[in-house]
Amino acid sequence: MSNVAKRQTSGLDKVLRVALYVCLLAMATVYLAPFIVMLLTSLKDVEEIRSGTLLSLPGSIDFSAWSKAWSGACTGSQCEGMAPYFMNSFKIVIPAVAISTLLGAINGYVISHWKFRGSDFFFAALLVGCFIPFQVILLPMARTLGWLGIANTTTGLVLVHVVYGVAFTTLFFRNFYQSIPGELIKAARLDGAGFFTIFYRIILPVSTPIIVVTVIWQFTQIWNDFLFGVAFSGFDTQPVTVALNNLVNTSFGGKEYNVDMAAAIIAALPTLLVYVLAGKYFVRGLTAGAVKG
Protein backbone atom coordinates (compact mmCIF):
# COMPACT_ATOMS: atom_id res chain seq x y z
CA MET A 1 0.00 0.00 0.00
CA SER A 2 2.81 2.32 0.78
CA ASN A 3 3.64 2.14 -2.92
CA VAL A 4 0.93 4.65 -3.65
CA ALA A 5 2.64 7.24 -1.50
CA LYS A 6 6.09 6.44 -2.79
CA ARG A 7 6.35 8.84 -5.70
CA GLN A 8 8.90 11.45 -6.53
CA THR A 9 8.31 14.57 -4.49
CA SER A 10 7.62 17.56 -6.68
CA GLY A 11 6.46 20.96 -5.44
CA LEU A 12 2.82 20.04 -5.94
CA ASP A 13 3.26 16.87 -3.94
CA LYS A 14 4.65 18.85 -1.04
CA VAL A 15 1.66 21.19 -1.02
CA LEU A 16 -0.67 18.20 -1.14
CA ARG A 17 1.13 16.59 1.76
CA VAL A 18 0.80 19.69 3.90
CA ALA A 19 -2.90 19.84 3.03
CA LEU A 20 -3.20 16.19 3.99
CA TYR A 21 -1.69 16.80 7.43
CA VAL A 22 -3.85 19.88 7.98
CA CYS A 23 -6.93 17.87 7.12
CA LEU A 24 -6.01 14.97 9.38
CA LEU A 25 -5.19 17.24 12.30
CA ALA A 26 -8.38 19.26 11.83
CA MET A 27 -10.39 16.04 12.00
CA ALA A 28 -8.46 14.95 15.09
CA THR A 29 -9.44 18.24 16.71
CA VAL A 30 -13.10 17.64 15.85
CA TYR A 31 -12.98 14.19 17.47
CA LEU A 32 -11.19 15.49 20.55
CA ALA A 33 -13.22 18.67 21.02
CA PRO A 34 -16.25 17.17 22.79
CA PHE A 35 -14.03 15.53 25.37
CA ILE A 36 -12.02 18.72 25.91
CA VAL A 37 -15.23 20.71 26.32
CA MET A 38 -16.50 18.15 28.85
CA LEU A 39 -13.28 18.37 30.81
CA LEU A 40 -13.21 22.21 30.76
CA THR A 41 -16.87 22.44 31.74
CA SER A 42 -16.40 20.02 34.63
CA LEU A 43 -13.68 22.26 36.07
CA LYS A 44 -15.70 25.50 35.97
CA ASP A 45 -18.22 26.76 38.49
CA VAL A 46 -21.82 27.46 37.51
CA GLU A 47 -21.23 31.22 37.19
CA GLU A 48 -18.30 30.74 34.79
CA ILE A 49 -20.40 28.38 32.69
CA ARG A 50 -23.15 30.97 32.39
CA SER A 51 -20.85 33.85 31.48
CA GLY A 52 -18.26 31.99 29.37
CA THR A 53 -18.43 29.87 26.25
CA LEU A 54 -17.74 26.19 25.62
CA LEU A 55 -14.05 26.67 25.06
CA SER A 56 -13.33 29.46 27.56
CA LEU A 57 -10.84 28.32 30.17
CA PRO A 58 -11.87 28.02 33.81
CA GLY A 59 -10.61 30.93 35.96
CA SER A 60 -9.36 28.55 38.59
CA ILE A 61 -9.29 24.78 38.60
CA ASP A 62 -12.29 23.80 40.67
CA PHE A 63 -12.86 20.14 41.51
CA SER A 64 -16.05 20.68 43.52
CA ALA A 65 -18.20 19.53 40.57
CA TRP A 66 -16.22 16.30 40.53
CA SER A 67 -16.71 15.58 44.21
CA LYS A 68 -20.39 16.42 43.92
CA ALA A 69 -20.75 14.14 40.88
CA TRP A 70 -18.97 11.34 42.70
CA SER A 71 -20.74 11.49 46.04
CA GLY A 72 -23.47 14.12 46.27
CA ALA A 73 -25.40 14.64 43.05
CA CYS A 74 -29.00 13.51 42.80
CA THR A 75 -29.81 10.62 40.50
CA GLY A 76 -33.56 10.47 40.68
CA SER A 77 -34.77 10.34 44.27
CA GLN A 78 -31.40 9.56 45.86
CA CYS A 79 -28.54 12.01 46.25
CA GLU A 80 -25.48 9.84 46.72
CA GLY A 81 -23.67 10.73 43.52
CA MET A 82 -22.28 8.25 41.03
CA ALA A 83 -20.12 6.27 43.48
CA PRO A 84 -22.62 3.54 44.45
CA TYR A 85 -23.63 2.96 40.83
CA PHE A 86 -20.03 2.93 39.69
CA MET A 87 -19.53 0.07 42.14
CA ASN A 88 -22.75 -1.60 40.93
CA SER A 89 -21.35 -1.64 37.42
CA PHE A 90 -18.23 -3.44 38.64
CA LYS A 91 -20.38 -5.93 40.55
CA ILE A 92 -22.20 -6.69 37.30
CA VAL A 93 -19.25 -6.51 34.92
CA ILE A 94 -16.69 -8.68 36.73
CA PRO A 95 -18.74 -11.88 37.13
CA ALA A 96 -20.47 -11.41 33.76
CA VAL A 97 -17.17 -11.00 31.91
CA ALA A 98 -15.53 -13.92 33.72
CA ILE A 99 -18.39 -16.36 33.14
CA SER A 100 -19.09 -15.41 29.54
CA THR A 101 -15.38 -15.59 28.64
CA LEU A 102 -14.97 -19.03 30.23
CA LEU A 103 -18.09 -20.38 28.52
CA GLY A 104 -16.97 -18.89 25.23
CA ALA A 105 -13.56 -20.54 25.49
CA ILE A 106 -15.04 -23.98 26.18
CA ASN A 107 -17.68 -23.62 23.47
CA GLY A 108 -15.12 -22.44 20.95
CA TYR A 109 -12.89 -25.39 21.84
CA VAL A 110 -15.73 -27.88 21.34
CA ILE A 111 -16.96 -26.30 18.11
CA SER A 112 -13.52 -26.23 16.53
CA HIS A 113 -11.95 -29.48 17.85
CA TRP A 114 -14.61 -31.78 19.33
CA LYS A 115 -17.27 -31.51 16.70
CA PHE A 116 -20.38 -33.59 17.19
CA ARG A 117 -23.40 -33.95 15.01
CA GLY A 118 -25.18 -30.62 14.97
CA SER A 119 -22.39 -28.57 16.52
CA ASP A 120 -21.83 -26.55 13.33
CA PHE A 121 -25.52 -25.98 12.95
CA PHE A 122 -25.71 -24.88 16.55
CA PHE A 123 -22.85 -22.43 16.01
CA ALA A 124 -24.69 -20.85 13.10
CA ALA A 125 -27.84 -20.66 15.19
CA LEU A 126 -25.92 -19.05 18.04
CA LEU A 127 -24.55 -16.37 15.73
CA VAL A 128 -28.07 -15.07 15.28
CA GLY A 129 -27.82 -14.11 18.96
CA CYS A 130 -25.17 -11.55 18.01
CA PHE A 131 -27.54 -9.77 15.71
CA ILE A 132 -31.09 -9.83 17.04
CA PRO A 133 -32.39 -6.50 18.30
CA PHE A 134 -32.68 -7.08 22.02
CA GLN A 135 -36.11 -5.45 22.09
CA VAL A 136 -37.39 -8.77 20.87
CA ILE A 137 -36.33 -10.58 24.07
CA LEU A 138 -36.94 -7.85 26.66
CA LEU A 139 -40.50 -8.74 27.65
CA PRO A 140 -40.03 -12.53 28.03
CA MET A 141 -36.74 -11.96 29.86
CA ALA A 142 -38.44 -9.61 32.31
CA ARG A 143 -41.06 -12.31 33.03
CA THR A 144 -38.39 -15.00 33.42
CA LEU A 145 -36.32 -12.95 35.84
CA GLY A 146 -39.49 -12.39 37.85
CA TRP A 147 -40.23 -16.11 38.02
CA LEU A 148 -36.67 -16.89 39.02
CA GLY A 149 -36.97 -14.32 41.80
CA ILE A 150 -33.99 -12.32 40.55
CA ALA A 151 -35.79 -9.37 38.97
CA ASN A 152 -34.08 -6.06 39.79
CA THR A 153 -31.01 -7.79 41.22
CA THR A 154 -27.35 -7.78 40.27
CA THR A 155 -27.54 -11.56 39.79
CA GLY A 156 -30.30 -11.09 37.24
CA LEU A 157 -28.27 -8.56 35.26
CA VAL A 158 -25.21 -10.81 35.34
CA LEU A 159 -27.32 -13.66 33.98
CA VAL A 160 -28.72 -11.54 31.15
CA HIS A 161 -25.28 -10.27 30.15
CA VAL A 162 -23.83 -13.78 30.21
CA VAL A 163 -26.65 -15.24 28.11
CA TYR A 164 -26.42 -12.60 25.39
CA GLY A 165 -22.64 -12.22 25.60
CA VAL A 166 -21.87 -15.90 25.08
CA ALA A 167 -22.72 -15.70 21.38
CA PHE A 168 -19.92 -13.17 20.88
CA THR A 169 -17.36 -14.85 23.11
CA THR A 170 -17.98 -18.23 21.43
CA LEU A 171 -17.50 -16.59 18.04
CA PHE A 172 -14.19 -15.03 19.12
CA PHE A 173 -12.74 -18.23 20.57
CA ARG A 174 -14.02 -20.44 17.77
CA ASN A 175 -12.36 -18.27 15.12
CA PHE A 176 -9.12 -18.29 17.10
CA TYR A 177 -9.09 -22.03 17.82
CA GLN A 178 -9.76 -22.86 14.18
CA SER A 179 -6.14 -21.94 13.54
CA ILE A 180 -4.75 -24.48 16.03
CA PRO A 181 -3.86 -27.55 13.93
CA GLY A 182 -6.18 -30.48 14.50
CA GLU A 183 -3.18 -32.85 14.30
CA LEU A 184 -1.96 -31.45 17.59
CA ILE A 185 -5.19 -32.37 19.35
CA LYS A 186 -5.29 -35.73 17.61
CA ALA A 187 -1.76 -36.59 18.75
CA ALA A 188 -2.61 -35.66 22.33
CA ARG A 189 -5.69 -37.86 22.23
CA LEU A 190 -3.71 -40.81 20.94
CA ASP A 191 -1.43 -40.31 23.92
CA GLY A 192 -4.48 -40.72 26.10
CA ALA A 193 -5.11 -37.09 27.04
CA GLY A 194 -8.75 -36.29 27.68
CA PHE A 195 -10.98 -33.34 26.88
CA PHE A 196 -10.01 -31.20 29.87
CA THR A 197 -6.33 -32.17 29.89
CA ILE A 198 -5.96 -31.03 26.30
CA PHE A 199 -7.85 -27.84 27.02
CA TYR A 200 -5.72 -27.08 30.06
CA ARG A 201 -2.32 -28.17 28.73
CA ILE A 202 -2.47 -27.32 25.01
CA ILE A 203 -5.27 -24.87 24.32
CA LEU A 204 -5.21 -22.50 27.28
CA PRO A 205 -1.45 -21.76 27.16
CA VAL A 206 -1.78 -20.33 23.63
CA SER A 207 -5.06 -18.52 24.31
CA THR A 208 -3.74 -15.38 26.01
CA PRO A 209 -4.28 -12.99 23.06
CA ILE A 210 -7.85 -14.08 22.43
CA ILE A 211 -8.65 -14.01 26.14
CA VAL A 212 -7.43 -10.42 26.30
CA VAL A 213 -9.48 -9.46 23.24
CA THR A 214 -12.59 -11.15 24.60
CA VAL A 215 -12.29 -9.74 28.11
CA ILE A 216 -11.83 -6.21 26.75
CA TRP A 217 -14.73 -6.59 24.34
CA GLN A 218 -17.07 -7.95 27.00
CA PHE A 219 -15.95 -5.39 29.57
CA THR A 220 -16.66 -2.51 27.18
CA GLN A 221 -19.98 -3.92 26.03
CA ILE A 222 -21.33 -4.63 29.50
CA TRP A 223 -19.99 -1.47 31.11
CA ASN A 224 -21.56 0.65 28.37
CA ASP A 225 -24.86 -1.22 28.34
CA PHE A 226 -27.93 0.88 29.00
CA LEU A 227 -30.87 -1.13 27.67
CA PHE A 228 -30.57 -4.13 30.00
CA GLY A 229 -29.61 -1.83 32.85
CA VAL A 230 -32.69 0.34 32.52
CA ALA A 231 -35.04 -2.59 31.88
CA PHE A 232 -33.85 -5.06 34.51
CA SER A 233 -32.20 -3.16 37.37
CA GLY A 234 -33.73 -1.97 40.62
CA PHE A 235 -33.19 1.38 42.36
CA ASP A 236 -30.13 0.17 44.23
CA THR A 237 -28.68 -2.09 41.54
CA GLN A 238 -28.58 0.42 38.69
CA PRO A 239 -25.41 0.41 36.60
CA VAL A 240 -23.50 3.63 36.09
CA THR A 241 -24.99 4.41 32.65
CA VAL A 242 -28.53 4.39 34.03
CA ALA A 243 -27.48 6.54 36.99
CA LEU A 244 -25.77 9.02 34.66
CA ASN A 245 -28.89 9.30 32.55
CA ASN A 246 -31.01 9.88 35.67
CA LEU A 247 -28.57 12.45 36.98
CA VAL A 248 -28.58 14.42 33.73
CA ASN A 249 -32.35 14.29 33.43
CA THR A 250 -33.04 15.15 37.07
CA SER A 251 -33.34 18.85 37.47
CA PHE A 252 -34.11 20.36 40.82
CA GLY A 253 -33.52 24.07 40.46
CA GLY A 254 -30.72 25.17 38.15
CA LYS A 255 -28.98 22.85 35.74
CA GLU A 256 -25.44 22.08 36.85
CA TYR A 257 -23.63 21.27 33.64
CA ASN A 258 -20.29 21.03 35.40
CA VAL A 259 -21.62 18.19 37.56
CA ASP A 260 -23.21 16.49 34.52
CA MET A 261 -19.92 16.59 32.66
CA ALA A 262 -17.86 15.34 35.61
CA ALA A 263 -20.34 12.47 36.06
CA ALA A 264 -20.17 11.63 32.34
CA ILE A 265 -16.38 11.49 32.45
CA ILE A 266 -16.54 9.30 35.56
CA ALA A 267 -18.88 6.92 33.74
CA ALA A 268 -16.59 6.83 30.70
CA LEU A 269 -13.31 6.52 32.57
CA PRO A 270 -12.98 2.73 32.98
CA THR A 271 -13.57 1.93 29.31
CA LEU A 272 -11.46 4.89 28.16
CA LEU A 273 -8.64 3.66 30.36
CA VAL A 274 -8.89 0.18 28.90
CA TYR A 275 -8.86 1.70 25.42
CA VAL A 276 -5.79 3.81 26.08
CA LEU A 277 -3.89 0.94 27.72
CA ALA A 278 -4.92 -1.86 25.38
CA GLY A 279 -6.18 -0.11 22.25
CA LYS A 280 -4.68 -2.73 19.95
CA TYR A 281 -6.77 -5.50 21.49
CA PHE A 282 -9.85 -3.31 21.59
CA VAL A 283 -9.61 -2.66 17.86
CA ARG A 284 -8.99 -6.34 17.18
CA GLY A 285 -12.16 -7.21 19.09
CA LEU A 286 -14.17 -4.59 17.21
CA THR A 287 -13.05 -5.79 13.81
CA ALA A 288 -13.30 -9.48 14.74
CA GLY A 289 -16.74 -9.04 16.22
CA ALA A 290 -17.71 -7.08 13.17
CA VAL A 291 -16.13 -8.61 10.11
CA LYS A 292 -16.32 -12.25 11.04
CA GLY A 293 -19.95 -12.04 12.12
**Binding residues for other proteins restricted to 68-107, rule: CB under 8 A:** 103, 106-107
Contact 253, 188 (CB under 8 A): no
**Cα 35 to chain centroid, rounded:** 18
Stretch that binds other proteins, among 66-74, 121-129, 148-156, 200-208 (CB under 8 A): 121-129
**Among the listed residues 15, 24, 87, 206, the single contact to other proteins using CB under 8 A:** 24
Q: Work out whether 12 is an interface residue with other proteins (CB under 8 A).
A: no
Contact 150, 156 (CB under 8 A): yes
Least distance (Å) from other proteins to the CB of residue 29? Answer: 9
Contact 42, 263 (CB under 8 A): no
Q: Work out whether 235 is an interface residue with other proteins (CB under 8 A).
A: no
Q: What is the dihedral of CA 178, 184, 187, 188, to 10 degrees?
A: -90
**Among the listed residues 101, 112, 154, 238, the single contact to other proteins using CB under 8 A:** 112
Q: Work out whether 18 is an interface residue with other proteins (CB under 8 A).
A: no
Contact 169, 285 (CB under 8 A): no
Q: Which of 91, 75, 82 is nearest to 222 (CA)?
A: 91
Cβ proximity to other proteins, 111 vs 211, nearer residue: 111
Q: Work out whether 150 is an interface residue with other proteins (CB under 8 A).
A: no
- Encode burial over 232-263: b for 16+ CB neighbours within 10 A, e otherwise: bbeeebbbbbbbbbbbbeeeeeeebbbbbbbb
Q: Work out whether 230 is an interface residue with other proteins (CB under 8 A).
A: yes
**Among the listed residues 12, 131, 208, 252, the single contact to other proteins using CB under 8 A:** 131
Stretch that binds other proteins, among 49-57, 65-73, 150-158, 207-215 (CB under 8 A): 49-57
Contact 239, 89 (CB under 8 A): yes
Q: Work out whether 268 is an interface residue with other proteins (CB under 8 A).
A: yes
**Total residues interacting with other proteins, rule: CB under 8 A:** 111
Find the angle CA(9)-CA(14)-CA(16) to the nearest 5 degrees: 120
Q: Work out whether 210 is an interface residue with other proteins (CB under 8 A).
A: no
**Among the listed residues 77, 116, 205, 208, the single contact to other proteins using CB under 8 A:** 116
Interface with other proteins in residues 164-193 (CB under 8 A)? 164, 166-167, 170, 178-183, 185-186, 189-190
Q: Work out whether 138 is an interface residue with other proteins (CB under 8 A).
A: yes
Residues pairing with 152 in the sheet: 233
Contact 269, 52 (CB under 8 A): no
**Among the listed residues 194, 206, 234, 235, the single contact to other proteins using CB under 8 A:** 194
